Structure 1
Amino acid sequence: MMLTPENTRIGFIGTGVMGKSMAGHLLDSGYPVIVYNRTKEKAEELLEKGAAWAESPKEIAEKANVIFTIVGYPQDVERVYLGEEGIVTNGRPDTYVIDMTTSTPTLAEKIYHVAKEKGIHAVDAPVSGGDVGAKEARLSIMVGGDKEVYETLEPLFKLLGKNIVYQGKAGAGQHTKMCNQIAIASNMIGVCEAIVYAEKAGLDPEKVLTSITSGAAGSWSLSNLAPRMIKGNFEPGFFIKHFIKDMTIALEEAEAMGMETPGLDLAKRMYDSLAQNGEENSGTQALYKYWQQ
């Protein structure tokens, strides 16, 4: 089945920092979109652009045949999918449900199996790229689930991202996102240390970035988040509280596999310290403030 604006009504649950831009791209591409968010104010821009409003996930399930979700925590995912008002609980056969939240591989597998029993097609498709990637439709999307379902949804994914990879069975997208978060966790320590070192050495940190971002030290965090640190901009492209959630999942999964993760463990402890000092709603680049505590 080819999903077109004529035969598709998209539901989108979670219109926060990233979800708002993602839902907007689908709307701009001509698809009718109905949105739900716990705080309606966060959906106002989309409603002004022509999106419809739903009062609950259940209403989304009743009206949409393709449903995207990007919410906060695994418990939110479970409630939105499998709760009394959930989209799988109340969904119709042949509906496609796509969870783009960073959640647990175990929950992704559970949702897949419960959905399959009802004839609903579920995939886990977490994303990377932050607020910038969401705004510019340049997200990396990591997909787990049935390959034929992925192939049906791929044209929609291409409206949201540039690097879209089918990773394997249900849960594989979430496992891949854990790899992503593990790589970022230690890298963020290095980025912050480099900027603090430059400042303490009396260098111009912006000039330092010019030299090192295009060399062997280059990374997305160095190019996109280090300039925010230098400017004192700690607004969230991705919340510290959500990164702590992701690192907790990764640590639990690694422990279950008998794997040591010393870099991840250190990053988690540093971010926990920041959160305890009131920075949980800052962006991940606020790790820079660790050296000011």
Structure 2
Amino acid sequence: MKIGFVGVGKMGGGLARNLIRRGYDVSVFDLNQAAVERVLEVGGKAAASITDFSSTADVIFTSLPMPRHLTDLLIDEESLLGQMKAGAVVIDVSTIDPSTARRLSDSASQEDVDFLACPLGKGPAQAEEGTQPIYAGGRPDVYQKYEPLLKDISTSVHYLGDVEQATAFKIVSNLIGMTNALVLSEGLRIGERAGIDPVLLQQLLATTGADSYQLTLRGPKMRNGDFTPGFSIHLTRKDVGLGVGMAKELNQPSPFTELALTYFDKAVDAGLGDEDCAAVYKLFDEVAPVRGAGT
């Protein structure tokens, strides 16, 4: 099985390295040469362009930042789908909206190419470890064909239905998690202003109904002022925006997500866009106003 991998940054890179470790024939392409070099440390081949593998790969993975990057690559500009051999498959692990996923899937079918939407559930560390949750969507027969491949790079693979269900799940997960990060920031600031020791505050919150994944993962970051990007505010704003857009398409009210989006807009305007989403904590510091990234 020949595999091409487009986009080997923090998330895609870990998956690509695991494919190589499992013995697959993998060619990688990324505009960031340093990202490619990190993959090549464990093996694989560097592609000068997508045309190096577009017509020969049995599987092409894509991991790109924005929905438009996928449509540009696969349909509108690079027309990758039209270059692929019949019966090949695109497995996209990006975070995209259901409407875009449907367009990509339909366009793939027109080119006699299969398509799976396989968004990811956690961060780069889990991608590297091979424990990254994968939420797959597509035709059942296509999923069944490539389920062993997905399970070679993840111990947590879940089939949700078609591409709309898989991509919607990822958006719902992110909008809940990122909205929780805002509530966590607000609550921690209130507790600290009330005179509760910050370390004790977080320890005891974890024993109550206030416990959450964000408290465990980002609570210490907020307390220690460590905003090294794991998942940046720029990406957070993108995903929350996708959530608002999806809710509107479904005619489903989303007032809290819409409010959360305004705060991530404020964070970007404050110069925090490249910092971890935990940096929204700075927005709730009335004593020391936000002064921009790294402050």
Match of 1:3 in 2: none
What code does the residue aligned with 1:49 have?
A: V
Match of 1:196 in 2: 189
Percent sequence identity over aligned pairs: 28
Residues of 1 paired with 2:93 and 2:144: CA distance? 16
Matched, 1:283 2:257: no
| Deviation beyond 6 Å, 4+ runs, structure 1 | none
Residues of 2 paired with 1:119 and 1:45: CA distance? 33
Match of 1:50 in 2: 43
Residues of 2 paired with 1:247 and 1:170: CA distance? 19
Match of 1:116 in 2: 109
What code does the residue aligned with 2:118 have?
A: A
Matched, 1:153 2:146: yes
Residues of 1 paired with 2:53 and 2:209: CA distance? 47
Q: Note closer, same or farther for the CA distance 1:263–1:22 as it changes in structure 2 (3 Å cut).
A: same
Residues of 2 paired with 1:223 and 1:136: CA distance? 19
- Residues 1-293 of structure 1 aligned to structure 2 (within 5 Å): 8-292=1-285, 293=290
Residues of 2 paired with 1:63 and 1:236: CA distance? 36
Is the 8 Å Cα contact of residues 185 and 263 (structure 1) preserved in structure 2? no
Number of aligned residue pairs = 286
Q: Note closer, same or farther for the CA distance 1:85–1:24 as it changes in structure 2 (3 Å cut).
A: same
Residues of 2 paired with 1:181 and 1:118: CA distance? 32
Is the 8 Å Cα contact of residues 56 and 84 (structure 2) preserved in structure 1? no
Which string of whole-angstrom CA distances, capped at 9 and with x for unpartnered residues, describes residues 102-151 of structure 1?
11211111111111122211011111212232233222222211112112
Residues of 2 paired with 1:137 and 1:79: CA distance? 29
SS in 2 for 1:55: coil
What code does the residue aligned with 1:275 have?
A: V
What code does the residue aligned with 2:114 have?
A: H
Residues of 2 paired with 1:230 and 1:213: CA distance? 15
What code does the residue aligned with 2:165 have?
A: A
Is the 8 Å Cα contact of residues 36 and 60 (structure 1) preserved in structure 2? no
SS in 2 for 1:143: strand
SS in 2 for 1:158: helix
Aligned-residue Cα RMSD (Å) equals 1.8
Is the 8 Å Cα contact of residues 132 and 237 (structure 1) preserved in structure 2? no
Consecutive unaligned residues in structure 2, runs of 5 or more: 291-295
Which string of whole-angstrom CA distances, capped at 9 and with x for unpartnered residues, describes residues 184-217 of structure 1?
1321112212332333233332333333335432
What displacement does 1:247 show?
1.5
Residues of 2 paired with 1:207 and 1:155: CA distance? 45
Residues of 2 paired with 1:96 and 1:123: CA distance? 7
Residues of 1 paired with 2:48 and 2:184: CA distance? 42
What displacement does 1:58 show?
2.8
SS in 2 for 1:10: strand
Residues of 2 paired with 1:32 and 1:46: CA distance? 13
SS in 2 for 1:89: helix
What displacement does 1:84 show?
4.1
Consecutive unaligned residues in structure 1, runs of 5 or more: 1-7
Which string of whole-angstrom CA distances, capped at 9 and with x for unpartnered residues, describes residues 68-99 of structure 1?
11111111011121144343121111112111
Residues of 2 paired with 1:96 and 1:157: CA distance? 13
What code does the residue aligned with 1:248 have?
A: G
TM-score, normalised via structure 1 length: 0.91
Range moving further from structure 2, 205-214 or 101-110 = 205-214
What code does the residue aligned with 1:80 have?
A: L
Q: Note closer, same or farther for the CA distance 1:38–1:195 as it changes in structure 2 (3 Å cut).
A: same
SS in 1 for 2:188: helix
What code does the residue aligned with 2:50 have?
A: P
Residues of 2 paired with 1:225 and 1:161: CA distance? 24
